Structure 1
Amino acid sequence: MSMTIGEVADRVFGTDVPFRFEAYDGSVGGRQGSDVVVRVENERGLRYLVTAPGELGLARAYVQGDLSLIGVDPGDPYDLLSVFLDKVTVQRPPVSELRDIFRSLGIASFRPPELPREEAVPAWRRAVEGLRHSRNRDAEAIHHHYDVSNAFYEMVLGPSMTYTCACYPQDSSTLEEAQAHKYDLVARKLGLRPGMRLLDVGCGWGGMVRHAVEHYGVTALGVTLSAEQASWAQQRIKETGLDDRAEVRHLDYRDVPEGGFDAISSIGLTEHIGIKNYPSYFTFLHGKLREGGRLLNHSITRPENTSNGLKRGGFIDRYVFPDGELAGVGTIVSAMQDHGFEIRHTEDLREHYARTTRAWCKNLSASWDACVAEAGQGTARVWGLYMAGSSLGFERNWIQLHQVLGVKVGADGDAHYPLRPTFGV
């Protein structure tokens, strides 16, 4: 029995779905009359879906423009993803129908198309850049995600140019207010005071460096593997007249020659380090601090400690964070404890990250045409999917965001820490 593409879609997704399905062969499926339409535009789009069933095939077709979502805001597809997760279940057709499906789609549909340019190559091919989390491979992974376009990030992230979880002091706080509050919370947890020296590893566009220097009177050094971030950050530091006490270098944190810092902030870097490298990472940071110095580690975490890592070959690994790895907060705390730090405070900000990524989606949506013109439709679509999906992940407790504060205790047991925390909330 020959089937249309629409009929095959109904076999796989059913008809009680929150969208109408259309295909280039003129066939339809799904819920007729729905305002949301999922349309396969051409044969290449079908090949993406057939050769990589699931999230990766859908992403490839959508990023390439071979799959259209009509009635959906491409900059903020949160509502569609939410309903899709709740109401769509992929059904495996009966064995008796598989042969008919294969014949109906044709053997050419099972030939994999070329990868979209926005997709990182598989992990086994990335090995040409070195072992996972080698210096070369880490640099390439950072380049893939962060060196898109500073102008693109300015539109999505807003004036703060801060690509990490904000902390909303009030329900009514804006994104900018929340990002400033986050930097201030980090500074207070670190106990920053005038004259201190701060090292910010994985400093991004230098937001923490500038905040600490301007508001706490410290001297700060930030390092990042992104050349575009470092260039933008140094320019902003000069424009704000902070270049006598603030610096951002294009440098691997492992190559920082200075030591004796009073405090270290690591905001959004641990995700890129690799779990097996936690011992050397925290040992290195411990060695850069004076006695009594503090480390504030801020990173995305898992809600448990039994499945550390990331799904290899999934959407996030191939389109967003190549070689990224997430661990439970318990894993991070244990690694810090085992390599010199006394843990003084932990805090989960996952609801704040859900709000942060929703705000980024709204920024992307509001500047959609300009973002597409700057970075291309494929990159803009990746960001819409990634940020909307991240919002759902944080809301549903699939992922979390933890700040962990550690202290380098002196040989005499003196942690140089007050009897009660002074940073409040």
Structure 2
Amino acid sequence: MQLAELFSRALSADDLIGFVAYDGSRSGPPDAEVTIEIRSPFALSHLASAPGELGLARAFVSGHIEVHGDLHRMFHLLGDLDLGKMDRGTKARLLGLLVQRRLWWPVGPPPQEARPRGWRHSKGRDAQAISHHYDVSNTFYEWVLGPSMAYTCAVYPTAESTLEQAQYAKHDLVARKLGLDEGMRLLDVGCGWGGMVMHAAEHYGVKALGVTLSRAQAEWAQKAIVERGLQDVAEVRFCDYRDLAETGFDAISSIGLTEHIGAGNLPSYFDSLYSKLRTGGRLLNHCITRPSDDHPFKAGGFISRYIFPDGELEGPGFLMSSMNRAGFEIRHSENLREHYAMTLDAWCANLDEHWDEAVREVGLPKARIWRLYLAGCQWGFDINNVQLHQILGVKLDGTSSHMPLRPTW
């Protein structure tokens, strides 16, 4: 069996994807909308050392595999990349080829992988994990995220809305759910580049404080705050939320942070946020979730090694129960899954538009990591493998929630 056909069978491509290999072999339809090129024998050694998605990702990141066509479409055509489902004959042929060519281990360590040290979700290890993903390059993030510098799910008012309009709508939705009003104090934990902090201060007259574990984010945000003349009412601080001394906030937003907390730490996380709110104050938790508590989740090797080390996703029911046990009364929840797929599509387009600059800024391996990551995540939201929930809770004032009879947002 030739190499291209072997790869086709190994990936269960079912004649939907074309394959070409360095040995001159071809497989699949000649007019396929997506073609995978095996450019080097070391593509095989990556598969041998890490069967499944991690091995394929390593081969792609290091340039031993190339994809011609749309990466997002490739994920839809291939589906779940589980090489453990190969039939015995294909496994035997692949093993024989590896042994014959002495390609059992790749040469050199795969590039750009994260291996944080210390106890999982300790302050030191969390700082390493956050730095790996967020301290890449502010310039790179500007190209991918656009002017809003919002690295969380946008909310599209219409299918025709631009990314910037959708990010503005997301921040405004959070502000209205929190009931922000002039003179209030807002805490935004995991604030990123300060988008929510600046939106709340500029449009709602709120005094807003954001905290982030990324030094690069904090520096960028503080500069943007000064440029917009908001330094008297807005601040972004390089700080672990666990070390924040201030309390008595009127509202707290947590946008895209819970994924980094870990299930075992969620009780103390929500306890901490509850203690920082005044009575009657609201918490809006916005995060990626599993479709349900029963839906199995284990971060794949690619995401764990290249994107979000130590990342964990919980079901919406588990999150609501954790908030409830901390003392919050749950008042509203909604799923914005389709909006995240649209957001990722826009980020993919931005990266494609600035591809040459991105490669010069962060290097080809990192740029390829991001292209694969964004397209794969978009596919995950498309097929309901992951969701995005906003959950609103309130710290009761005795028995009063101070909530309107019907939602005003």
Report the TM-score, using the length of structure 2 for normalisation.
Answer: 0.94
SS of 1:223 mapped into structure 2:
strand
Deviation for aligned residue 1:5: 2.5
Q: Is the 8 A contact 1:4 1:104 kept in 2?
A: no
Deviation for aligned residue 1:130: 1.6
User: How does 1:125-164 map onto structure 2 within 5 Å?
Assistant: 126=116, 129-164=117-152
Deviation for aligned residue 1:46: 1.9
Tell me, in whole angstroms, the C-alpha distance in 1 between the residues paired with 2:91 and 2:162. Answer: 52
The yes-or-no answer on 1:290 pairing with 2:278 is yes
Match of 1:416, as an amino acid? H
Q: Which residue of 2 aligns with 1:46?
A: 44
Deviation for aligned residue 1:392: 1.6
Q: Which residue of 1 aligns with 2:79?
A: 85
Q: 2:357 aligns with which of 334, 358, 370?
A: 370
Moved more, 360-369 or 112-121: 112-121
Q: Is the 8 A contact 2:260 2:310 kept in 1?
A: yes
Gaps of 5+ in 2: none
Report the TM-score, using the length of structure 1 for normalisation.
Answer: 0.91
Match of 1:381, as an amino acid? R
Deviation for aligned residue 1:397: 1.2
Moved more, 10-19 or 329-338: 10-19
Q: Is the 8 A contact 1:60 1:116 kept in 2?
A: yes
Q: Is the 8 A contact 1:11 1:91 kept in 2?
A: no
The change in CA–CA distance for 1:173 and 1:259 in structure 2 (over 3 A counts) is same
Deviation for aligned residue 1:24: 2.4
Tell me, in whole angstroms, the C-alpha distance in 2 between the residues paired with 1:360 and 1:255. Answer: 33
Tell me, in whole angstroms, the C-alpha distance in 2 between the residues paired with 1:154 and 1:244. Answer: 25
The change in CA–CA distance for 1:15 and 1:191 in structure 2 (over 3 A counts) is closer
Tell me, in whole angstroms, the C-alpha distance in 1 between the residues paired with 2:55 and 2:334. Answer: 37
The yes-or-no answer on 1:390 pairing with 2:383 is no
Q: Is the 8 A contact 2:188 2:211 kept in 1?
A: yes
The change in CA–CA distance for 1:230 and 1:52 in structure 2 (over 3 A counts) is same
Tell me, in whole angstroms, the C-alpha distance in 1 between the residues paired with 2:80 and 2:111. Answer: 31
Tell me, in whole angstroms, the C-alpha distance in 1 between the residues paired with 2:404 and 2:88. Answer: 66
The change in CA–CA distance for 1:308 and 1:415 in structure 2 (over 3 A counts) is farther
The yes-or-no answer on 1:105 pairing with 2:91 is no
The change in CA–CA distance for 1:4 and 1:234 in structure 2 (over 3 A counts) is same
Tell me, in whole angstroms, the C-alpha distance in 2 between the residues paired with 1:101 and 1:240. Answer: 59
Q: 1:167 aligns with which of 150, 155, 174?
A: 155
Deviation for aligned residue 1:344: 0.7
Q: Which residue of 1 aligns with 2:406?
A: 420
Deviation for aligned residue 1:43: 2.3
Tell me, in whole angstroms, the C-alpha distance in 2 between the residues paired with 1:10 and 1:191. Answer: 54
Deviation for aligned residue 1:35: 5.7
User: How does 1:168-317 map onto structure 2 within 5 Å?
Assistant: 168-307=156-295, 309-311=297-299, 314-317=301-304
Tell me, in whole angstroms, the C-alpha distance in 1 between the residues paired with 2:390 and 2:92. Answer: 53
